[in-house]
Structure 1
Amino acid sequence: MTSSPAKKTAPKKTAKKAPAAAEALVVKSDEEAWTPGELDELLGELNEQREHSAAVVAEMEAELDGLMRDSGDGAGLDQADVGATSFERDHELSVLNSERDKLAQIDRALGRIADGSYGQCESCGQPIGKLRLMAFPRATLCMPCKQREERR
């Protein structure tokens, strides 16, 4: 019996165009411009997170493929076994989708750094703030817009 190969999601390569100059990235009026060192540190962190998430996604897709292949039709299993298997599969799908979302956010942040729009709120257009971006590099909204979104 030949088994079908696990569906692999190859890590998406972001465009290798040069990132915008650190000084060109948006900052709040009371903040200093990004330094090349800060930008390198930020890029390093994002790339490290991306590698980790891509590895997690690949591993989870292989596990999920195994769960789906071995799920059978439930013959010979009692309801508790079927329920546990279903719960495990649903949990794996939820975690996998969360990791895929994180990967997409990282790719978006890297793309915004490359095109020079990193640091600008996608909702209101105001600067997000260096401190927020250093704490959460995937942020796309300034604090007021994020708080407004969370209240909805």
Structure 2
Amino acid sequence: MSPDLATIRARLSDRRAQLLAHVASLEADLGQPMEADFAEQAVEREDDEALDRLSRVELAEIGQIDRAIERIDQGAYGVCIECGEPIAPARLAALPEAAMCMECATGR
């Protein structure tokens, strides 16, 4: 594995660990008992819905990171999974877990 790929893999792994820790924190918050006051319960339910949505978004990002790490390990990182062309370095710098080139990602 080239030094650049090793660095990218390490950054992805670090981001994955951060997301997992945050998801665990969100799940702990969601597991807290409700207040006795009905008005407070309504606010807590809204908060719980927002936390649940955030958790789902972060879990999806973890999945994208896992697939990017697999592509690195398989030697396929930086190659579009749709067309097989290289993904622009600027795109990978901005979104290291990108699996598609801009053309395929935008459907052009």
TM-score under structure 2 normalisation? 0.86
Separation in 2 of the partners of 1:76 and 1:103?
Answer: 36
1:90 aligns with 2:45: no
Partner of 2:67: 108
**2:26 aligned to 50, 60, 63, which one?**
60
Q: Which has the higher contact order (CA 8 A, sep 6+)?
A: 1
Separation in 2 of the partners of 1:124 and 1:40?
Answer: 25
Greater per-residue helix proportion: 2
Are the counterparts in 2 of residues 42 and 134 from structure 1 also a CA contact under 8 Å? no
- RMSD (Å), alpha carbons: 1.9
Unaligned runs of 5+ in 2: none
TM-score under structure 1 normalisation? 0.64
Unaligned runs of 5+ in 1: 1-20, 22-35
Percent identity of paired positions between Structure 1 and Structure 2: 31
Residue 118 of structure 1, CA deviation: 1.3
How many residue pairs get matched?
108
Residue 87 of structure 1, CA deviation: 0.8
Residue 121 of structure 1, CA deviation: 1.2
